[in-house]
């Protein structure tokens, strides 16, 4: 369990998700049978399954054997140094050094490192990556254990630690890539960040050390300046090596000692300083606006005055648990307000965690409607006052304790099926931030023993500790738009000051029913049962026509995933009521089921680990959901109620429409969203269902009665629904439950299908320019489209072709031309509503490079048309596919999507496991033929985003 949620300042302004929830376990298990020490000053132990050590040169290592996934190893090289360590002439060079690690080492020349790993099925970006932040740099590798790949990967880690080449030519080539990454970060969010960061982190080194650096230094630094950073900071006393996976721990420890033990610690190392964020005794306010901003946002930071201390003792862990209870309950309260007919927030939440490593804070955030900043701020502060004066209620605390306990219980039950990447991340945090890693058995036993000892008074006391004027910063961000009122800094201060002595009423917690369904329906008969032994699947058909496809697995001990579909979707409705049909599912989810409002339903589910949500798509309607085996019946009850008792609540409808109107109100002011909207409209020839962002007129066209009628129509007949369940299921045990809740669903003899509504891409060659934005950056999208004779074999060839093309695009356009930070091709091959394909290549770049890079892309396509992929690239594609399938076939979510796709398209589901012959049969000749068939230079659409006329020149800051 992570002790807090790290808050990345570079994505500070985009906060559209609430904190995750917990669920309740009725009965808990004493994990060890022994009570934990009552002395809370006792140090938290290290998980006994970890081998942790330190070499004589100061390098720390962590090793753990873990077989999820099998035959895979997670490798990390963590460096306790980031952009804070840069000298004034090195801004951006900590991050640049990270880039150079992939451009040649003492054992791998230039791009040989990437080539070696690709030949082993390792994907650049997905399995091979790194990041640099203020305080740290972390390299990540996920590799198979087969052949010599693990040995080579350890050599790579060793080279990164002490062996990056820094060839002059490679440095100069990488300048272009890093500057393109810098370019991607420009825009409204960065401009607003540059304004509020000096207030939030005032008088600290953090405000002047954003990891991306400055364009001027990136373009002009000399080679020795970069090498100096590497020499000063890449040293064993600041490093940790992490190895988690399907390995022999003892042998790996010997390997690490042999490889890293000879790294030399500097005789006079540069001091690795801890930089603080000075406290201030008053509250500060910053209001920033931008013409390209998309949302009205409020951020409140109640910063701690001292640097965070290491959480070493049971008492520290107990304190963290109190923090989680407080912020979880407050987030729930705030979220309830988003359900109002005229909500003050579209999204809102609270949590305690790090702003940067040097400072923790109690933090609140909200996305509010246009002209709603003052109201949203007042409501947020009023809720704070309620907690300060009256605290939380016993029922709130009891409910959230149950959620928390269930979350730990679920993690404990999955302890033998935990992914290696999760452990690797924990150990990196232990090294960098001293986060305890006692293991889930300890953590689960801790909450079992101590959670009930946390009183309501303990939690309520945090309000007085956190919610003070001292060291508090309020940040308001908003679009700069005519007719929109944005409060001044003085007005925001006045609102904050006006809270003192304000009258507020205590929160009233509503009573919740004890069961979802009072009258359990009579079970239906199973009219047919079929086993597909090759893939371990059972098909059940019930008397009402409902089909259930069951795939028991042992991949996770406490997970069952569900999806369902029925042909139809909103395609069966005319264009003039499209928006009502497309939003009917969301309106019902906002409203709830039966006698449960959405708020009441979430409270009821707080002691359950189950969810189910209806959807209405373009060609089908259905469900998605998940549950633990213990709460499987609850998931089925939710499905039954969404069929038979969707709640009709006009206030919830108004809330839904109000929030989405506000969300979409300013999206098109952002150049990227504006461009996406234009792309969708061009690709669909302005079809009303083509996918452009909805306008206010579109939202006004959604009718409550009309949407409810359509929802009920879509879910009135269960006869043509197929349900899929994958996970820890006992087929015989769940048959009666399926018969009760699915077999008893209403059904008719009517069989329905979807309709082709006529969305088609334009014919011939279409080239469009989209002018939007002030920053010097472009986006290029080239799409090849057309009709085809659909088959699974043809779809596989197209997707394999695109994988081969991706290798060359990265190699040629990024690495050799240094023209982009990222570039990618993807393919979509569809059987419905008509047989067609789309292959799209997209990349961001400097406006002046659009045509040169576009030509280079077409040149690479032409090479594949002329010659097919190279033999080396074909081998990389094949090996990547093999490695991916090895992992996929041990994943519940893969089986769920693969089974649904097979049934929906009429394919034989047995083919899911029959991949080796298909991969082996892939060849250069067939891919060359596929390239010539689908890359038609007389049939493509090229859409380019350019800055508006008169846009500002590039800035070096």
Whole-structure pTM value: 0.94
Nearest Cα neighbor of 93 from 184, 175, 10 is: 175
Please, what's the b/e burial string for 562-601 (b: 16 or more CB within 10 A of its CB; e: otherwise)?
bbbbbbbbbbbbeeebbbbbbbbbbbbbbbbbbebbbbbb
Nearest Cα neighbor of 131 from 94, 103, 162, 157 is: 94
3-state secondary structure of 820: coil
Ordered DSSP codes for 844-870: EE-GGGHHHHHHHHHHHHHHHHHH-S-
Mean pLDDT of all residues in 79-101: 98
Q: Does residue 419 have a pLDDT over 90?
A: yes
And the tokens for 187? Answer: 């825009």
Neighbours of 448 (CB within 10 A): 20
Integer Cα distance of 843 and 850 in angstroms = 9
- What φ, ψ does residue 782 adopt, rounded to 5°? -115, 120
Mean pLDDT of all residues in 788-811: 97
Q: Determine how β-strand 359-368 pairs with β-strand 836-845.
A: unpaired
Integer Cα distance of 363 and 344 in angstroms = 18
Q: Does residue 120 have a pLDDT over 70?
A: yes
pLDDT at position 31 is: 54
Integer Cα distance of 591 and 588 in angstroms = 5
Asked whether 596 and 515 are in contact (CB, 8 A), the reply is no
Mean pLDDT of all residues in 629-656: 97
Asked whether 352 and 328 are in contact (CB, 8 A), the reply is no
Q: For residue 115, with 0-12 CB atoms within 10 Å meaning exposed, 13-18 middle and 19 or more buried, which class applies?
A: middle
pLDDT at position 750 is: 84
Q: Per residue in 91-117, pLDDT tens?
A: 999 999 999 999 999 999 998 999 999
Mean pLDDT of all residues in 693-700: 96
pLDDT at position 595 is: 92
Mean pLDDT of all residues in 561-568: 98
pLDDT confidence band for 258 (50 / 70 / 90): very high
Rounded to 5 degrees, what angle do the CA atoms 541, 543, 548 make?
A: 25
pLDDT at position 147 is: 84
pLDDT at position 37 is: 81
Handedness of CA 874, 879, 885, 887 (dihedral sign): negative
pLDDT at position 952 is: 55
Nearest Cα neighbor of 699 from 531, 583, 573, 543 is: 583
And the tokens for 197? Answer: 């960061």
Q: Percent helix, strand, coil in the chain (nearest 5)? A: 45, 20, 35
pLDDT confidence band for 607 (50 / 70 / 90): confident
Neighbours of 271 (CB within 10 A): 7
Q: Per residue in 319-341, pLDDT tens?
A: 999 999 999 999 999 999 999 99
Q: Does residue 892 have a pLDDT over 90?
A: yes
Mean pLDDT of all residues in 577-592: 97
Asked whether 243 and 258 are in contact (CB, 8 A), the reply is no
Q: What integer best gives the mean pLDDT of the chain?
A: 94
pLDDT at position 27 is: 34
pLDDT at position 311 is: 79
Q: Per residue in 653-673, pLDDT tens?
A: 999 999 999 999 999 999 999
E strands, 480-593, where?
A: 526-532, 537-542, 547-552, 560-567, 592-593
Mean pLDDT of all residues in 330-358: 96
Integer Cα distance of 718 and 721 in angstroms = 5
pLDDT at position 105 is: 98
The DSSP call for residue 518 is S
pLDDT confidence band for 953 (50 / 70 / 90): low
Handedness of CA 509, 510, 516, 518 (dihedral sign): positive
Beta-ladder partners of 529: 540
Q: Does residue 369 have a pLDDT over 50?
A: yes
Beta-ladder partners of 478: 289
pLDDT at position 565 is: 98
Q: How many residues does the chain have?
A: 957
Integer Cα distance of 346 and 349 in angstroms = 11
pLDDT at position 26 is: 30
Q: Does residue 504 have a pLDDT over 80?
A: yes
Cα end-to-end distance, the chain, whole Å: 38
Integer Cα distance of 321 and 309 in angstroms = 16
E strands, 283-374, where?
A: 283-290, 296-303, 347-356, 359-368
pLDDT at position 39 is: 86
pLDDT at position 34 is: 62
Q: How far is CA 920 from CA 121, 608, 796, 871, 882, in A?
A: 14, 46, 13, 13, 10
Integer Cα distance of 559 and 726 in angstroms = 8
The DSSP call for residue 631 is G
Cis, bond preceding 682 (omega within 30 deg of 0): no
Integer Cα distance of 606 and 401 in angstroms = 9
And the tokens for 619? Answer: 């060609």
Please, what's the b/e burial string for 752-761 (b: 16 or more CB within 10 A of its CB; e: otherwise)?
bebbebebeb
Neighbours of 453 (CB within 10 A): 8
Asked whether 564 and 552 are in contact (CB, 8 A), the reply is no
pLDDT at position 912 is: 97
pLDDT confidence band for 954 (50 / 70 / 90): low
Q: Per residue in 1-26, pLDDT tens?
A: 333 223 333 333 333 232 222 222 23
Mean pLDDT of all residues in 571-600: 97
């Amino acid at each position: 369990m992570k002790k807090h949620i790290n808050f990345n300042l570079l994505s500070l302004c985009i906060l559209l998700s609430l904190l995750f929830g917990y669920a309740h376990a009725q009965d808990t298990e004493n994990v060890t049978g022994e009570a934990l020490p009552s002395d809370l000053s006792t140090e938290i132990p290290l998980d006994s399954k970890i081998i942790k050590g330190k070499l004589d040169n100061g390098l720390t290592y962590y090793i753990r054997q873990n077989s999820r996934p099998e035959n895979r190893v997670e490798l990390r090289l963590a460096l306790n140094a980031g952009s804070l360590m840069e000298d004034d002439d090195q801004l951006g060079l900590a991050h640049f050094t990270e880039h150079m690690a992939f451009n040649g080492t003492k054992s791998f020349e230039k791009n040989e490192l990437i080539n070696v790993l690709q030949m082993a099925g390792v994907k650049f970006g997905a399995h091979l990556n790194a990041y640099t932040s203020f305080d740290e740099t972390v390299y990540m590798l996920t590799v198979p254990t087969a052949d010599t790949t693990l040995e080579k990967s350890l050599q790579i880690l060793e080279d990164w630690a002490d062996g990056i080449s820094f060839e002059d030519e490679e440095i100069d080539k990488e300048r272009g890539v890093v500057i393109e990454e810098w370019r991607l970060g420009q825009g409204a969010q960065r401009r607003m960040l540059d304004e509020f960061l000096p207030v939030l982190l005032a008088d600290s080194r953090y405000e002047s050390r954003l990891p991306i650096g400055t364009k001027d230094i990136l373009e002009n630094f000399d080679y020795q300046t970069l090498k100096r950073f590497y020499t000063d900071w890449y040293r064993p006393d600041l490093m940790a090596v992490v190895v988690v996976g399907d390995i022999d721990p003892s042998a790996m420890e010997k390997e690490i000692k042999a490889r890293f033990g000879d790294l030399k610690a500097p005789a006079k190392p540069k001091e690795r300083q801890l930089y603080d964020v000075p406290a201030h005794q008053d509250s500060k306010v910053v209001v920033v606006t931008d013409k390209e901003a998309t949302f009205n946002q409020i951020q409140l930071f109640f910063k701690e005055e001292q640097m965070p201390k290491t959480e070493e003792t049971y008492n520290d862990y107990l304190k963290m648990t109190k923090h989680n209870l407080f912020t979880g309950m407050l987030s729930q309260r705030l979220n309830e307000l988003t359900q109002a007919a005229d909500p003050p927030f579209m999204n809102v939440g609270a949590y305690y965690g790090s702003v940067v490593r040097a400072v923790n804070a109690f933090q609140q955030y909200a996305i509010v409607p246009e002209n709603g900043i003052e109201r949203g701020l007042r409501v947020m502060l009023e809720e704070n006052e309620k907690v300060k004066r009256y605290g939380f209620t016993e029922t709130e605390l009891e409910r959230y304790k149950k959620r928390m306990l269930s979350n730990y219980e679920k993690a404990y039950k999955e302890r033998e099926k935990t992914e290696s990447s999760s452990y690797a991340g924990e150990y990196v945090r232990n090294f960098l931030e001293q986060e305890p890693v006692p293991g889930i058995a300890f953590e689960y036993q801790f909450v079992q023993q101590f959670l009930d000892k946390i009183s309501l008074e303990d939690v309520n006391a945090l309000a007085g500790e956190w919610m003070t004027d001292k060291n508090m910063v309020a940040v308001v961000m908003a679009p700069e738009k005519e007719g929109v009122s944005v409060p001044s800094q003085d007005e925001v201060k006045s609102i904050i000051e006006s809270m003192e002595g304000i009258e507020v009423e205590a929160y009233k917690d509503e009573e919740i029913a004890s069961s979802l369904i009072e009258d359990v329906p009579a079970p239906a008969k199973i009219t047919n049962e079929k086993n597909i032994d090759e893939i371990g699947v059972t098909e059940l058909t019930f008397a009402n026509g409902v089909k259930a496809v069951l795939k028991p697995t042992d991949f996770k001990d406490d997970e069952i995933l569900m999806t369902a579909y029925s042909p139809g979707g909103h395609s069966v409705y005319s264009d003039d009521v499209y928006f009502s049909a497309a939003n009917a599912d969301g309106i019902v989810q906002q409203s709830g089921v039966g006698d449960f409002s959405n708020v009441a339903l979430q409270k009821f589910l707080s002691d359950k680990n189950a969810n189910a949500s209806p959807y209405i798509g373009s060609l089908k309607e259905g469900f998605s959901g998940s549950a633990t085996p213990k709460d499987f019946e609850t998931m089925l009850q939710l499905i039954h109620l969404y069929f038979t008792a969707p709640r009709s609540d006009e206030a919830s409808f108004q809330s839904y429409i109000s929030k989405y109107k506000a969300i979409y109100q300013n999206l098109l002011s952002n150049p990227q969203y504006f461009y996406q909207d234009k792309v969708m409209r061009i690709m669909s020839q302005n079809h009303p269902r083509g996918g452009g962002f909805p306008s206010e007129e579109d939202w006004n066209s959604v009718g409550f009665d009309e949407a409810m009628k359509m929802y009920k129509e879509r879910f009135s007949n269960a006869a043509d629904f197929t349900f899929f369940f994958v996970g820890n299921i006992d087929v015989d045990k769940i048959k009666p439950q399926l018969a009760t809740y699915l077999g008893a669903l209403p059904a008719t003899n009517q069989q329905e299908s979807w309709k082709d509504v006529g969305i088609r891409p334009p014919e011939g060659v279409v080239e469009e320019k989209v002018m939007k934005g002030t920053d010097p950056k472009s986006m290029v999208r080239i799409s090849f489209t057309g009709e085809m004779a659909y088959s699974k074999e043809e779809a596989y060839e197209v997707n394999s072709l695109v994988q081969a093309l991706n290798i060359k695009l990265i190699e040629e356009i990024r690495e050799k031309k240094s023209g982009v930070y990222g570039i990618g091709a993807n393919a979509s091959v569809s059987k419905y509503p008509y047989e067609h394909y789309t292959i799209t290549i997209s990349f961001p770049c400097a406006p002046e490079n659009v045509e040169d890079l576009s030509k280079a892309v077409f040149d690479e396509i032409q090479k594949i048309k002329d010659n097919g992929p190279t033999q080396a690239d074909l081998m990389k594609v094949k090996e990547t596919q093999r490695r991916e399938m090895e992992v996929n076939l041990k994943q519940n979510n893969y089986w769920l999507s693969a089974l649904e796709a097979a049934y929906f398209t009429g394919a034989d589901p047995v083919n899911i496991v029959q991949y080796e012959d298909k991969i082996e049969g892939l060849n250069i000749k067939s891919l060359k033929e596929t390239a010539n068939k689908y890359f038609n230079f007389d049939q493509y659409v090229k859409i380019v985003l350019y800055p508006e006329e008169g846009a500002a020149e590039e800035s070096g800051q």
